[in-house]
Structures are given as structure tokens and as C-alpha cells.
Amino acid sequence: MKIANKQISAVSLVKEAFEKARQFAKYNVFVSLADEEKALKKAEEIDKKITAGEEVGPLAGVPYALKDNFLSKEGNTTASAKILESFHSPIDSTTVKKLEEAGAIMIGRTNLDAFAHGSSTENSYFGPSHNAKDFDRVPGGSSGGSAAAVALDIVEFATGTDTGGSIRQPASFNSVYGFKPTYGTISRYGVVAMASSTDCIGFFTKNAEDMDLLMSICAGQDEKDLTTLPSFYNHEEQKYFVPEIAPKTAKIGIIKDFRNDSIDPEVQCVLDHEVEKLKAAGHQIVELEMPTLKYALAVYYIVVPAEVTSNLSRYDGIRYGYRSEHAKNLGEVFGLSRNEGFMPENKRRIMIGNFVLSSGFYDAYFKKAEQARTLIIEEYQKAFEKCDYLLTPVSPSPAFKLGEKVSDPVAMYFEDVMSVPINLAGLPSLAYPAGESQDTKMPIGLQLIGQRRSDKSILDFAKYLAKEIN
């Protein structure tokens, strides 16, 4: 680390991050900046410890951006929603706590689709964020602000959440790395819930090495989150692919079912080019049929809205958050506060969720969707009997223009067609830069998918790809 080696000071890094945040303010990446004076004081203390020869954490003095659905005692946690506009958290999320203990310094909270409901960061109470590569295009969502903050080189890394592609798609759109770990690898404690059975905590970085470091710091079981898995990330047996130690040929699965007219030809071209490079390097390409995946998008948009409905029921204008000034009785407190406090996409998902859970429709929709989810999980298990990793596009198209799909929810939902199956199955997946559109010059990312608990293996293979293939 340059800071630990005294090549650069923590103070100068933090100062530069705040300066860049202000420089790129028009991109609307941040909903709020941290207290600069406090941040610089933390940096000064780190520099003093290093000068004195004292031990510091692995992220000492490194500036980072926090997606604004992570609870932190510093500032307000809004989830980019009006209903939480003034909410001040009394606790720190487990991830924030671990990052701070490692010495990282938060410089601001990033914009997102309100409550993480969206694929473009246009569904935010604070207005849309902009793509780091093209101001007129979306940065992806829901973690668009975090992805753009890293791509604009404001911070070294940023946190994100991924429920159906909310880390990987923005990473692809902004040409950075974005990782969704195995479900339960990182604690969800202190993160505003979207859909609890698919929510995952992850990060945006500029390379796989930094992602590996962040995972080693933040992965692990947490008694405050009963869905977290026993610690496995740093165990030696998880290092399946370390070319420097034990080079091997990998079997890469390509899903034939994703080859269709709905996929942008330029995206397909980038995938084909990557496959040819892997073949040339001696890796085996395995073509797979996974017909159940065609139902994944429909399954996701039944299961997830049902969980969204439950998780958003706590925002009632009574306990905390926004309360309508126009309410004249208890019923209006509930109704008006939620109507005024939620964004249109939030309301849409609540309505869908209530519908699929209602009497007479539960068996027809929700129950069948959960059964189909089981089939999807089983199909992935069979696929990994034939290959080490799966390689697919992240999204069917590069970043689209702001406003292009806002009025067409179905078209917006289709942006998740290649990412949601992974969340339903609880698998790890890394989005990495792989090419660009020849027409628009916009980034195109691919995703490397592994079986459960192969998180370390995926990142090791990504390091190899960056060094030897790309």
C-alpha cells in the first residue's frame, strides 16, 4: 500500500477525493458528502500512526463511497427515498463497521434507485445519476452512483447491493469491476432491505486484486444476520484457481439459451471475442442448454415484489421517516405518507407484491414461482457438473440514454434478464470490463459465474484473465 509505505499521505488522498466529488458534482453521483473536517482528521491520525511506526489497517486512509442504503451513524441514510429523507441511523451496518476498522474513510453517500428498485438510477428522489463515460446515458442501477464514483476516479472503491443485478449491471455500464458474492457471504445487518432472500452486499473496484482484499475484510458470519454463512472465503481450499501456484485449464460454460435476437449484436460480439481468446489460451469451452432460465425473469418479478411489499410495510408515517403534512386522521397518515414518500417504481412493486400474495393468487403465482426457483437452482447445479465457471453478458445491451426506458417498465425489467437468475440461485458472480460498442463506444461487461462458495476462485480467475488474456 502506497499510504503504509509513505509514498503518499492519507490526508492528500482524502483531500483529492473531496475535490473530485465537487468537480464531478453535475454527475449527481452523491446524495450527500461526509463531514470533510472529520474525514481529514481521521486521515491525519492515520498518517501520524504510520510515521510513528504503529500498525494500521489494510485500508488505512483509503477513501470510499457508501451506497446510501447502508446504515451509518454519520449523516442521514435515505435510500434515495423521500420517506427516509431525514432518517438518522443510530447504528452502523456491519460492512461500514468492518471498513472503518480496516481504516477506510467514507467521503460520501452515493445515489441509487429509491430502495434499490430499478436498473438505471433514474428512480431516485434526488434525481438521476449520469454515466461516467457518457453524461447523456444512465449509469445503470440500482447502484449507479457507486459505480460512477469509482469510474470517475473519485474513490478507490464503493459499496453496493445486488438483488437482481444492481452491482453487476452498473459495473458493466461504467467499465469497472462489480462483485456479487455467494448469498450470505457478507452480512446484510444494517442495510435497508429490498428482498431478503436475494439481497447481497458487494463492491465496485478498478481491479480484481482490490476486490479480493475487500472480500477478505468483509466476508464472514455475523450473529446479527442469521443468513450469513460460516466463514469460508479465506480458507485455503477456496483457492481453486491460482495460476502462479497451480496453473490449470478451466472449463468455461457458455449458455446457448442466451443467444437470441433480443441481445444486442455488439454485446454478443464481445462475448464471442472473449471466448476465442480463452480458447487460444487453452481453456475448454462447454456449450450448455439451460431452458429453465427463460422463466427466471418472470419468477424474479413475482418473488421479489412479494418480499418488497413485506419489507416496505414498516414505512407507515408513524414509527420513523416522512409523515405527510396533509394527513387529518390515522388512515391518512398511512395512506398519504406512503403515497407522497414512495417513488412510482416503489408503488408499482408494492402493488405487484400484494397481488401475487393475495387470496386466490398465492397458489397461482407465488407458490409456482418458488417451485420454479428450485428448478433454476437445480439446473445451475447440473451445469457446474460440466464446467468450472459460466461466462455470460451482464446485460443485453450497453448503457441506454437517460429517459429512454422510464415509461416502459417491462423494457426496464428486461435489462435484468441475464443477472436475476444468479440471485435466485444465490451464486457468486463478477462483472468485469471486456470491450465496448463499436457504434457508441460504450463499455460492455461480461460476468463470470461460479458455484456457491467459489467466490475466491472467481476472483483468482479474474486476476488471471486481466494479466494473461485481456
Question: Catalytic pick from 42, 67, 98, 456?
Answer: 67
User: 41 an active-site residue?
Assistant: no
Using CA atoms, how far apart are residues 7 and 1, in angstroms rounded to an integer?
9
- Edge to edge, the sheet with strand 389-393 lists 30-33, 105-110, 63-67, 157-162, 200-205, 177-180, 429-436, 443-449, 389-393, 251-255, 284-288
Using alpha carbons, select from 119, 434, 172, 161 the residue that is nearest to residue 297: 119
Using CA atoms, how far apart are residues 86 and 67, in angstroms rounded to an integer?
16
Grid coordinates given for 261: 435476437
- Among the residues of 94-200, which ranges form H helices? 94-101, 144-151, 168-174
Using CA atoms, how far apart are residues 391 and 274, in angstroms rounded to an integer?
9
Using CA atoms, how far apart are residues 116 and 193, in angstroms rounded to an integer?
9
Report in angstroms the alpha-carbon separations of 273 from 266, 280, 389, 469: 10, 11, 17, 11
Using CA atoms, how far apart are residues 48 and 60, in angstroms rounded to an integer?
12
Beta strands in 85-187 (DSSP E): 105-110, 157-162, 177-180
User: 463 an active-site residue?
Assistant: no
Question: Catalytic pick from 143, 166, 175, 437?
Answer: 166
Question: Catalytic pick from 142, 143, 324, 437?
Answer: 142
Using CA atoms, how far apart are residues 445 and 173, in angstroms rounded to an integer?
7
Q: Hey, which residues does 178 pair with through a beta bridge?
A: 204, 431
Using CA atoms, how far apart are residues 110 and 80, in angstroms rounded to an integer?
9
User: 142 an active-site residue?
Assistant: yes
- Helix (H) / strand (E) element for 312: namely helix 296-312
Using alpha carbons, select from 460, 468, 395, 467 the residue that is nearest to residue 428: 460
Enzyme catalytic residues = 67, 142, 166
